[in-house]
Chains A and B, each alone.
Chain A
Amino acid sequence: MDGNLRARGCPHPYALDRPEWAPGCALVPPLKRPEGSCHYANLSKSQCPEAPLCAAHGKAERGLELRPRKRRSAPGFGTHAEGGRPVLEASPSGEVSVSEYVDVEERARELGCSIPTGIALLPRNLASARSKDELIHENTVSDMRKVLREAGIAETTLEAPGERFPFALERHFDWAAPIIFVAPLVLTENPQLVTVVLKAIADHVRQWLRGVPRSLRSVKLSVVVQEKPGRYKMIEYEGPADGINDLADLVRSAQWRTK
């Protein structure tokens, strides 16, 4: 901390490095930030604590300008399939990115798991796990399975009957759904199932987020679909729960259908 500031009685030890953490402190020099940038650039506009005065988020809101957002690390402790350059898609209420994903069928076979043939909740590190023992689910997996059962949706799990993968518990506030896999057969046999699945999840999340401060009401959800045989896409969504329903069309359009 700057000696002068301390001598003058400023109680903010971070003041010079992060003046935005000492808002209102008369001893801290005013925050200078490049025009149009935002300290909270990694947040969606609905989360930005400086909205609606924030120039960066305000601009995105008015003109729906999509900036290539910083690629967040793959869900879990691993990484995505190589060469998965994200493609940005416009979404009315959240941020959507599309990237390559590993061949789910092949990975399941390699790891000795059951091969999903319908809707399945995938472990967060399916793409990078070296063995079946390393597979880890998101902590929301058991609730999501119950929600799907409530909605009358049968899941074809990677786990064999009686088998259970552990789940990761991270003590920071974040609602992240497990990766939802939609097999091609699903759309051939019942194209509306994707809508039912996403609606069930959106309803559950909306209820879950009640009572959570507005700035934290954001969810992360990924859907993996087969684009064509042997090639899979991951559609990642981050934003308000209401935007989850809008993904159904995107999933259907990305999905390869069996004849």
Chain B
Amino acid sequence: MEDEVELALQDFRERTREAQGYCFTSIGREFQAAAVQDLRELKARLGELKRRRAGVGNEDAANTLLSLEYLVEAIVGELQMWTALKDDRARQAWDHLVGAQVAAGTAIRAHTVALSLNAEAYAEKLELLQRMVFPFQAFMSVAVVVESAECSICGAEDDQCEHVKGRPYMGEMCGRRITKIREMREVSLILPPEEPADRRCRITSISDGDVMRDKLTWRAVGPVPEREVPEGSAATGSASPPGRDNGE
């Protein structure tokens, strides 16, 4: 590995070791906020070096640095989750955790350096955190028929280039931008053991029969919306918990 990249890796190890020491509920908020700031600076340095390596065509170094960037983002996400929880911002905390999970997974896919840094175990830890810190969540999912999409690397029609979605290319992950949707097929409720593609697409509040409650905090967030009863239907207007009537 190049000296410059080796130095960046060393820097990464030192900074993240320190930051991960703050990834606990009991640690003071000010330390966690300072660690986030510190990691953001580290990420900017890694990004700058990545661009330089990509500029000279060193793909392996660029992808290594991309992987480190994502790992930093994951730890930032975890720290932000803890601070958001302390600030009683449960929704943001959930989004930060999901962001951290996505970043950790992407880091592992970007380069094998992440595996040598034990990123798989870290990703598993984030999965556990979701189950231990937050209550059970239900998700929504849509199914669409896509007419055309383009490659995020070169902008060509999805099937007209050789970039494969989910692989890194010169320090950039390949994705797909949907450009035209032909039709929307369905919207469905995703319950365990099914898994949504995006955990941020979740049901945020449910009715307990009396009021609507936030799915994360269980606080009342408003009255139960009136249910529209089709004409001639024998259905009553009372709301029931969604687990009972939306099918599985």
Cβ 8 A contact of A171, one of B141, B147, B193: B141
- B234 in contact (CB, < 8 A): no
Closest-CB distance, B135 to chain A (whole angstroms): 7
Cβ 8 A contact of B243, one of A14, A142, A171, A212: A14
In the assembled complex, 24 residue pairs joining A and B whose CB atoms fall closer than 8 Å, in A order, are A1-B209, A13-B206, A13-B243, A14-B241, A17-B243, A17-B244, A40-B193, A47-B193, A142-B149, A143-B164, A146-B162, A150-B162, A166-B146, A166-B147, A167-B146, A171-B142, A171-B201, A173-B196, A174-B195, A207-B167, A211-B107, A211-B119, A213-B124, A214-B124
- B80 in contact (CB, < 8 A): no
Question: Which 9 A-B residue pairings sit nearest by Cβ, starting from the closest?
Answer: A211-B108, A211-B105, A14-B243, A173-B195, A142-B159, A171-B141, A170-B143, A171-B197, A211-B109
- B57 in contact (CB, < 8 A): no
B: contact size bracket: 35 or more
Number of interface residues of A (CB under 8 A): 45
Alpha-carbon distance A145/B241, docked complex (angstroms):
45
Residues of A that sit less than 8 Å from B by CB: 1, 6, 11-14, 17-18, 21-22, 40, 42-43, 47, 49, 77, 136, 139, 141-143, 145-147, 149-150, 164, 166-174, 204, 207-208, 210-214, 216
Residues of B that sit less than 8 Å from A by CB: 104-109, 114-115, 119-120, 123-124, 127, 135-136, 141-149, 158-159, 162-167, 178, 182, 185, 188, 190, 192-198, 201, 206, 208-209, 213, 218, 241-244
A11 / chain B contacts, CB cutoff of 8 Å: 135, 218
Cβ 8 A contact of A204, one of B146, B164, B178, B198: B164
Closest-CB distance, B68 to chain A (whole angstroms): 14
Given the contacts A13-B208, A166-B182, A213-B124, A207 and B195 also touching, CB distance less than 8 Å: no
